[in-house]
Amino acid sequence: MDKILFNRMEFWGYHGVFPEENKLGQRFYVDLELSCDLSYAGRSDTLNDTVNYAHVYTTTKQVVEDERYALIEAIAERIATRLLTEHARIVEVLVRVVKPDPPIPGHYQSVAVEIKRERT
Annotated active-site residue 3? The verdict is no
Which of 59, 78, 57, 58 shows the shortest CA–CA distance to 15? 78
- Helices 53-66/72-86 angle, 10° precision: 150
Of 23, 61, 99, 116, the catalytic one is 99
3-state secondary structure of 86: helix
Active site residues: 99
